Structure formats: C-alpha cells, structure tokens
C-alpha cells in the first residue's frame, strides 16, 4: 500500500512532542507490540539539545571499514543515486544508513560535507548503527541537523555504498523506506504510517493524563492508598 504522507501542518504538530510521548501515543492504537518500534540504547543522540526530529526514511547500506584499495569503490553504487533519492523524496527526510563491513567500531558514515549536502537537499537528520565524525563541523555547517549513531571516529575509511531503498535494522528498530521516524535526546521511534495522522491528538491525551497524575502526586492529598483509588496500581 502506498504511503500517505502528512501535511506540513501535521508534520509540525508531531514534531512538537518529545519522543517518549509519541511512543506512548502509538501504544494506544495497539498496532504493534509495545517492545517493538524503537531503537535500543546502543543508538546515541549526538545533539540532545535540539528539538525533536521527524522525517521519512531514505534507507541505504554502506561499508566503510573493510580494508581495500580506493579503486574497489568502482564496484559499488555511486553516491549520486542516494543524493537524487533524497532530492526526489517527500520532505522532510531522515537518511538511514545500515553499517556492514569488517569492523563496526571503525566505521564512519557521515562527516560535515555529506551532512551539509543532506541538509540542503531537505534532510532533517541522519541515523546509523555505525560511526560518524566531524561532530562540531556538522553543528556549525548544518545547524539543526540531528544525528543518531553508535559513536564517533576520526577517519572516513573507504566508503562503499552497497544498497539503496532496502529494509534495514538499526539497533533493534526495523526501518523500511518511507517509514516516519521521530527522535530526540531520549532515542528514536517509528510512527506507523497507518495511524500517523491520528498520533498528535493521542499525544495530547497522553500529556493531559500525565499532567493530572503529576498534579496529584505533588498535591497534599497524595498517598499510596489515594493513588490506588484514583489511578490504580
């Protein structure tokens, strides 16, 4: 079934919430198991002070850490294909790179030049289960561009683009091309497209319930017995 993309207003509405609230809102629709749909703590948010990131996934697979000659790259895909895919995609875009290769801990899938290109083409963020570099350069040259990765390294290795537009798994989160991704300092969650237009309304309900609970917890009338009677355990 073709993905139904949200309006600019709906995108802005969803992006205004933090990711845990979005995760709680998605749970209410019971479209997936509550232990699925989010990345593990192996995935780090590199700019935790940025607002929430929200965009449609462009997926690819890349190897940067396997030893070899630069000429070996001729056997792989040209990066223009990835750039063109981002340019043609509904916006906003989140670029998602699955790391493969001989050494995860020495992989690098993003630097300041590529981040700036992605940003200019309409991408709001980048996700990889491998490494990235140029943390300060990305911050300065692509302001607001969010990055999720397993960590940082100093060298780009030998970039080899293996696939574009395939389903990938990033730190336990399965991501298909076109999936709607929401992320912030807390982590990364996917929003099923089938309910995406309803999630913002549900997120408001989540916050209303949480605020009522917090008000009661802080009130003079709080006790465990009173809590149990009002909200249950």
Dist. CA 69–CA 115, nearest whole Å = 25
H or E segment to which residue 141 belongs: helix 135-141
- Encode pLDDT of 27-73 as tens digits: 999 999 999 999 999 999 999 999 999 999 999 999 999 988 666 66
- Encode pLDDT of 138-178 as tens digits: 999 999 999 999 999 999 999 999 999 999 999 999 999 99
27's CB contacts (< 8 A; 6+ apart) are: 34
The CA-based dihedral angle spanning residues 47, 137, 92, 28, taken in that order and rounded to the nearest 10 degrees: -10
- Encode pLDDT of 186-213 as tens digits: 999 999 999 999 999 999 999 999 999 9
Q: What pLDDT does 1 receive? A: 44
The correct answer on CATH 3.50.30.40 for the domain covering 8-198 is: yes
Whether the Cβ atoms of residue 14 and residue 199 lie closer than 8 Å to each other: yes
């Amino acid at each position: 079934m073709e993905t139904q993309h949200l309006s600019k207003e709906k995108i802005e509405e969803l992006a205004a919430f933090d990711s845990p609230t979005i995760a709680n809102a998605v749970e209410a629709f019971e479209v997936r198991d509550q232990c699925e749909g989010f990345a593990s703590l192996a995935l780090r948010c590199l700019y935790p002070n940025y607002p929430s990131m929200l965009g449609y996934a462009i997926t690819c697979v890349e190897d940067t850490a396997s030893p070899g000659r630069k000429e070996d790259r001729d056997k792989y895909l040209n990066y223009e294909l990835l750039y063109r895919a981002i340019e043609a995609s509904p916006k906003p875009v989140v670029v998602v790179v699955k790391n493969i290769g001989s050494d995860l801990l020495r992989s690098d899938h993003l630097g300041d030049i590529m981040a700036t290109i992605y940003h200019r083409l309409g991408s709001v963020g980048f996700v990889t289960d491998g490494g990235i570099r140029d943390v300060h350069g990305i911050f300065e040259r692509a302001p607001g561009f969010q990055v999720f990765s397993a960590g940082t390294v100093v060298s780009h290795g030998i970039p080899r683009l293996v696939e574009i537009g395939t389903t990938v798994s990033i730190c336990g989160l399965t991501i298909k091309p076109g999936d709607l991704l929401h992320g912030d300092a807390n982590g990364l969650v996917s929003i099923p497209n089938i309910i995406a237009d309803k999630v913002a309304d549900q997120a408001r309900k989540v916050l209303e319930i949480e605020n009522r609970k917090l008000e009661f917890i802080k009130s003079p009338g709080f006790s465990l017995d009173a809590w149990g009677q009002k909200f249950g355990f």
